[in-house]
Structure 1
Amino acid sequence: MNTGNIYKGSCFCGAVQFTVSGEPAAMGYCHCESCRHWSASPVNAFTLWKAGAVQVTQGADNIDTYNKTTQSYRKWCKTCGGHIFTEHPGWGLTDVYAASIPEFPFHADIHVNYQETVLRIKDGLPKMKDLPKEMGGSGVSVPE
């Protein structure tokens, strides 16, 4: 497990609880159709954590999984349906939804999959057409 700051998170009802520790590998906003539909919002705030930084501390048996693709294993609470996180095994990262870790100081660095946006956000952050090259994307930036 990473050392440093530890933040507590949970599903909507609290049946599933977890911690994230250390610092995330990245933070930002995803505008892809899958994230928008999954989060039921026009944009999804993400925090990406390396393996071992996310620890389920309660209710592991109450977590279910859905994977639309082999890149994303979306996790939610079987009691309340609250979304918890998405594992990305190909990247060795777990996306913990920023809203599920309320005391974590979220500061976005980037917008990804901005070509799919339905909500233009003028915040001066870089806007990637899809994903950065190191994550298998084109690495192409697009205007706000």
Structure 2
Amino acid sequence: MSAKPSFQGSCFCGAVQFTVKGTPNGMGYCHCESCRKWSAGPVNAFTLWEPEAISITAGADKISSFNKTPGSTRKWCSECGGHIMTEHPTMNLIDVFAASIPSLKFEPGIHVHYQESVLPIKDGLPKMKDMPSEAGGSGETMPE
């Protein structure tokens, strides 16, 4: 049996460090207004992990959080403000921001909340109107 791959990540200043093990349950781009405002960008690159795949290895006392809705707890470093992850308890998944795991090869497979897009991206990936049905969405796709 081979060991699961392990990837190191951190906030912007490095005060908060973490490890993710295994492979993400999914990777893609979110176009919702909340993610755009949170990331201060037109689209957010996400990687979804089961909670047990993530461990904080340094700076746990420097993690702050905010709940805009019961469906998400956004976490960041209180030293530098660098975004780290968003917990999604209703899906039992944690979105670790792709940019905070530099050694993980980002291989997006989907766009979610594309109906809210402000930056159309023509890359051949499925464009979900909101979310896949198995994640509580309509499951409807949109054209590029």
TM-score range, shorter chain: over 0.9
Q: Counterpart in 2 of 1:49?
A: 49
Equivalent positions of 1:78-117 (< 5 A) are 78-117=78-117
SS of 1:52's partner is helix
Which sections of structure 2, spanning at least 5 residues, go unmatched? Answer: none
Q: 1:71 corresponds to which residue?
A: 71
Amino acid of the structure 1 residue aligned with 2:96: V
Note the residue ranges of structure 1 that are not aligned, 5 or more in a row.
Answer: none
| Cross-structure match for 2:125 | 125
Amino acid at match of 2:15: A
Cα offset for 1:76? 0.2
Q: What is the RMSD of the two structures over their aligned residues, measured on CA atoms?
A: 0.6
Percent pairwise identity = 65
The normalised TM-score by structure 1 is 0.98
Letter in 2 for 1:117: S
Q: Is the partner of 1:130 in helix, strand or coil? A: coil
Aligned mates of 1:92, 1:55 — CA distance in 2: 15
AA at the equivalent of 1:83: H
1:59 and 1:90 mapped to 2: Cα distance? 26
Structure 1 residue 51, shift from structure 2 partner: 1.9
Equivalenced residues, count? 142
In structure 2, distance between residues paired with 1:143 and 1:34? 22
After the TM superposition, list the runs of 4 or more consecutive aligned residues in structure 1 that deviate by more than 6 angstroms.
Answer: none
